[in-house]
Amino acid sequence: SRHLLNIITFTDSCELTAQEHFCFVQSVVNKTPLEASAFCFLAIGLERLLACLVYSRYERCRLPIFGVFLASLPWLYPLIKMIDLLSLPTQQNVYLAYCSSLTSSAVRIPSLIYIPMPSVIFCAMLCIIVFILSKRRLTLTVTSGIQSLSSRFQLKENIHSCRPLAIASFAYMVTSVTDMSIVLVMSRFLNDDHIEDAKLWQAVVKMASINAASRL
């Protein structure tokens, strides 16, 4: 947050110089919560799918291994990234004109497209499927009157929880696409030798900060 504040309020471009290795570490750490949140969507979607498949006995299910897997799933990918980060060689004498995820090569477009986004899309699809199945089963149980009260309550819970989760997943996808667009624009400026244009980066960082705040 201090570095972000310096980018927005700097008066001298020399204030933004940073070691490349430190900048890379900082960029990886900063983007870890957003990557973990993408896998949180996936973990919640899998839990809702299980609640839909075994709704009649879900309250009595005891699956500790499944619970541990879902709890650790959001942190598996960031943990792998941090392990790779610690294994990288350190170059103490390399400095950047300013620290950003692009100048340090910590953020790559393929990693944004192929890993977090499919997880969120899969979660949204799971929520829609669970919502439709639970609503259909609830209608059938009310008509037939065969299922127990706890089963109906579980189906209602699935319906009420999947609707906002699907909306949140789509909102996450929209903000992610916006982030990717900002990254592409920033990459284009880097390729066009605008690396010394600190004022331009100041404006772009402000726009990216507003989008990141809206996602959180």
Res 66 pLDDT > 70: yes
Lowest-confidence region among 20-24, 29-33, 79-83, 115-119 = 20-24
Q: Output the pLDDT for position 83.
A: 77
Max mean pLDDT range (97-101, 105-109, 116-120):
116-120
How deeply is 50 buried, as exposed, middle or buried, from its count of CB atoms within 10 A (0-12, 13-18, 19+)?
middle
Q: Output the pLDDT for position 99.
A: 63
Q: What is the mean pLDDT of residues 18-37?
A: 71
Of residues 144 and 39, which shows the higher confidence score? Answer: 39
Res 37 pLDDT > 50: yes
Lowest-confidence region among 1-15, 104-118, 170-184 = 1-15
User: Would you say 36 and 74 are in contact if contact means Cβ atoms under 8 Å apart?
Assistant: yes
User: Would you say 45 and 122 are in contact if contact means Cβ atoms under 8 Å apart?
Assistant: yes
Q: Output the pLDDT for position 97.
A: 52
* Residue 197, both tokens: 């244009």
142-164 tens-digit pLDDT: 666 656 677 778 788 888 888 88
* Residue 159, both tokens: 């319906």
In sequence order, the β-bridge partners of residue 18 are: 96
Q: Output the pLDDT for position 194.
A: 46
In order of their start, the domains of the chain are 2-210 (1.20.1070.10)
pTM: 0.65
Residues found in the chain:
216
Lowest-confidence region among 32-41, 95-104, 151-160 = 95-104
